[in-house]
Structure 1
Amino acid sequence: MINTYVVDRRLNGKNKSAVNRKRFLERYKKHIKRAVNDAVNNRSITDMEHGESISIPGQDIREPVFGHGKGGKRNYVNPGNKEFVSGDMIEKPKGGEGQGGGNQASNSGEGMDEFTFNITQDEFLEFLFEDLELPNLVRKELKSMDDFVYRHAGFTNVGVPAKINVVRTLKNSHARRIALSGKARRRLKEVTALIDEEEQKDRSLRNEAYLEDLIIEKEKLHNKITRMPFIDDFDLRYNLSMKEPTPSNAAVMFCLMDVSGSMTQQTKDMAKRFFLLLYMFLRRNYEKIEVVFIRHHTSAKEVDEEEFFYSRETGGTIVSSALKKMQEIVDERYPASAWNIYAAQASDGDNWNDDSPICQKILERDLLPKVQYFSYIEITPRAHQALWQAYDEVRSRHPDAFAMEQIIDQADIFPVFRQLFQRKSS
């Protein structure tokens, strides 16, 4: 019998097991996702991406147990028995007399508190953005000389041992030995045949001197062939790899936020919370992603991350200014042939009535032909206005490239975010 032992030597922290923790997180995934979703709605913007404390009800962490069913015959061993002898019948336990079996508190029962544990920042973000992706992401033509792939480009006589091509080297070795020893092998075959022929003759007719010369020649030929190296430096061949530029799936996300006077502080906070979720999602899931921040009121301007989230500038409302600014930046820096272009716009829906048709025209004529996906969220509890109606017409004609949702209060932010960026089943 052979005993096999598997030893896990992966490095973990003191008193921790990465394998067991992963199994535990998978088992209580439902509770963790619920806690993560609640945390997103209750946290401040600056505390959005920290870890979280998770509580699991006691009844959900009980382990399954096996028990005997009713009926059948069983043999019991009762140590210290003073009441029964062999052959006695034992009554079944009467039901309803146990203590502590209910959920109510009692002076003699025992209970179990909720089990609480902490998840790390990475685990929090992993559960937060699970099953989300940028829609319609495709590989584009060469964006820059930064993206390369190494492809096989034949063989070379020089290289490092790690790149040696064994098959090609052995083929060259075999061909060299055949070419260099072909004449000797043919002569060896002839000499062997002559020796056999001479040895088959009667001793009186055999030419001993001639036979001895043949044997000596055979030995020389054999030594000549065997002294030939199995692999020579000339035989070595190495794989040759060439660096070729490849298409890139680099993407750019435009974040367009309305900061006009009609946007209350609460509305702005919800817009910032949505964009912060989007920003964390992009940074965590996509290595090559650029984010362009645009704030607008009557005019629009490109800003950095700090100014986008914390500037207090305000004014009137002309939504088309943000779309024109985005179009200008796309034309200057992000050609559609090389970039996956995305946009997310947040507003309260308030806009000059004459400007909403202009927004619709810019979207359909200039932006949607270039972008992969444009999402619009309207943060308002009021009835929709002209901007929503104009955008609704765009959505009806371009359902795959344009999406729009409404956010009424803070609890709607994360569900709407997931709805806009939910991974599509293939």
Structure 2
Amino acid sequence: MSSYSISRDDWSLHRKGEIDRQRHQEKVKEAIKKNLADIVSEESIIMSDGQKIVKVPIRSLDEFHFRFDQGKNKHAGQGNGKSKVGDVLHSEPQQGSGKGKGAGEEPGVDYYEADITMEELAELIFEDLGLPNLEHKKKPELASESPEFKDVRKKGISSNIDRKRTLYESIKRAALKGEPYEGKITKDDLRYKTWDISYKYESNAVVLAMMDTSGSMGPFEKYIARSFFFWMVRFLRTKYQNVKIVFLAHHVEAKETSEEEFFTKGASGGTRCSSVYKLALEIIEKSYNPQDYNIYAFHFSDGDNLASDNDNCVKYIGELLQVCNLVGYGEIEGPYYYTSTLRSAFKKVNDQKFTVVTIKDKTGVYPALKKFFSPGPETIRA
């Protein structure tokens, strides 16, 4: 006679390693999300050169543990029984800031680098972003055509055999005949997946990326501008399948460049920002009819423009606003920042579709992304 034993063990204990790993991953993502402003401008990510996995610096995640007093001071313990809720039993003396006292004695906070894929990081960064004021246009362009398996048939090519459905038909046939199932598959049991071509249409959009590459744009200013456009390009290509990006660089003169040149090449000489606005208007008139395209223009500069050119900039920005869904201007305050900049001239522009941001350090890149790409309640998602 056989005997069996029934275990009442908690099987969740056998999964503790997996549960701990999942908890750790959740904590890592939570820490990353809280520090996106610092992470977005992290040089190791911007210079990742297409790597799929990047390292993100975050605070180490400690498990719960008893923390012993470093100063070995006396502490308050149990009360005398007459205490009420909210009574303060003891308060620690305030520690000094440590400034001017030489080397400190208190332990620091550990940091470590967590591995995360660029797709996961992009998902966290782009979670709340979208193209503002996106509209359906008269001639939506064909964005993509892709096969989708939507049906199962009795005839087809061998590479498209639906194994699960075929096995089901074999079992069903044996059951209907009242025979024991022996795993035999006949020609009538075979089922094949078939597909239809699905066409996806989206509202057309074009984004004009304009960057100042003049001599006044130092390493810091160029890095901030390129960081913004790095994430902008990745955001557009992640969330939208049919968005064109035009790259324009300027000093005294403006020109259309390739994506690689835009992110790698600099220039010298003076600055005439109106040149890039004029070029943008010419490109729009030639190739992108506002009736057929949602148009967005974003320009980054240190604001050090020829004073005699500021009025032209205001004029061309006004013309861009007539054909664009949104125009954004970002000014980077470097170490040699001047109070009289292009941003001062743009105070004359009063239009809800014109957005200005100021970036003083690396943490300003993420807020700039959120301000420029705040979709709003009426945005049509692509």
Is this a same-fold pair by TM over 0.5? yes
Preserved contact between residue 141 and residue 247 of structure 1 (Cα < 8 Å): no
- The alpha-carbon distance between structure 1 residues 114 and 290, as it changes in their structure 2 partners (threshold 3 A), is closer
Contact 2:205 2:293 in 1 (8 A): yes
* 2:228 corresponding residue in structure 1: 274
What residue is the counterpart of 2:237 in the other structure?
283
Report the AA paired with residue 48 of structure 2: D
Letter in 1 for 2:324: V
User: Number of paired residues?
Assistant: 275
1:254 is matched with 208
Q: Find 1:343's aligned residue among 286, 289, 297.
A: 297
**Closer/same/farther in 2, CA of residues 126 and 302 from structure 1, 3 Å limit:** same
Instruction: Indicate the residue corresponding to 2:32 in structure 1.
Output: 32
Cα distance per residue 1:294-332 (max 9 Å; x no partner): 011111110101111112332221111101100010011
**Per-residue deviation at 1:133?**
1.1
- For normalisation by structure 2, the TM-score amounts to 0.62
The within-5 A match list for 1:71-110 is: 101-104=66-69
Higher relative contact order (CA 8 A, sep 6+): 2
CA shift, 1:28, in A, is 5.6
Name the % identity: 32
1:351 is displaced (CA, Å) by 1.4
Aligned match for 1:265, one of 219, 230, 235? 219
Alignment of 1:328-339 (within 5 A): 328-339=282-293
**Alignment match of 1:312 (pick from 266, 274, 277):** 266
Distance in structure 2 (CA, Å) of the matches to 1:272 and 1:410: 11
Which has the larger Rg? Answer: 1
Q: Which residue pairs with 1:297 in the alignment?
A: 251
Structure 2 CA distance, aligned partners of 1:357 and 1:141? 35
Distance 1:21 1:147, change over 3 A: same
Which of 353, 370, 376 lines up with 2:329 in the alignment? 376
Matched AA of 2:340: Q
Runs of 5+ unmatched residues, structure 1: 1-15, 63-99, 107-112, 149-159, 163-240
SS of alignment partner, residue 102 of structure 1: coil
Whether 1:119 aligns to 2:96 is no
1:389 and 2:344 are equivalent in the alignment:
yes
Partner residue in 1 for 2:139: 142
Distance 1:247 1:146, change over 3 A: closer
Q: In 2, Cα distance between the equivalents of 1:266 and 1:116?
A: 24
In structure 2, how many angstroms separate the alpha carbons of the residues matched to 1:412 and 1:146? 33
State yes or no: 1:42 paired with 2:42.
yes
* Structure showing the higher strand proportion among its residues: 2
Root mean square deviation, CA, Å? 3.6
TM-score using structure 1 length: 0.56
Q: Indicate which of 360, 366, 371 corresponds to 1:414.
A: 366
**CA positional deviation for 1:143:** 4.4
Larger helix proportion of the pair: 1
**Which contiguous aligned blocks of 4+ residues in structure 1 show a shift greater than 6 angstroms?**
19-24, 113-116
Task: Summarize deviations over 1:131-173 as a string: whole Å, max 9, x none.
Answer: 111111111111446679xxxxxxxxxxx998xxxxxxxxxxx
Q: Secondary structure at the match of 1:368?
A: helix
Give the one of 277, 297, 302 matched to 1:323. 277
Q: 1:139 to 1:349 in 2, by over 3 A?
A: same
Amino acid at match of 1:52: K
Judging changes above 3 Å, is the alpha-carbon distance between structure 1 residues 27 and 138 closer, same or farther for their aligned structure 2 residues? farther
Contact 1:297 1:316 in 2 (8 A): yes
TM-fit CA distance, 1:341: 0.5
More deviation, 302-311/403-412: 403-412
**C-alpha deviation, 1:127, in angstroms:** 1.1
2:251–2:272: 8 Å Cα contact kept in structure 1?
Answer: yes
> Which secondary structure does the structure 2 equivalent of 1:263 belong to?
coil
State the SS of the aligned residue for 2:307: coil
Aligned to 2:178: none
What's 2:160 paired with? none
Cα gap change, 1:20/1:48 in structure 2, threshold over 3 Å: closer, same or farther? farther
What secondary structure does 2:308 align onto?
coil
Preserved contact between residue 38 and residue 362 of structure 2 (Cα < 8 Å): no
Does structure 2 retain, via aligned residues, the 8 Å contact 1:298–1:319? yes
Q: CA deviation at 1:417?
A: 2.2
Unaligned runs of 5+ in 2: 1-16, 72-109, 146-150, 154-195
Contact 2:298 2:328 in 1 (8 A): yes
Query: Aligned letter for 2:217?
Result: M
Q: Distance in 2 between matches of 1:21 and 1:130?
A: 24
1:34-83 deviation digits (Å, cap 9, x = unpaired): 35443323324322764334656545x65xxxxxxxxxxxxxxxxxxxxx
**1:325-357 deviations in Å (ceiling 9; x for gaps):** 000100111110111101110111111222111
Taking the aligned partners of 2:117 and 2:301, their CA distance within structure 1 comes to 33
- In the alignment, residue 389 of structure 1 is paired with which amino acid? S
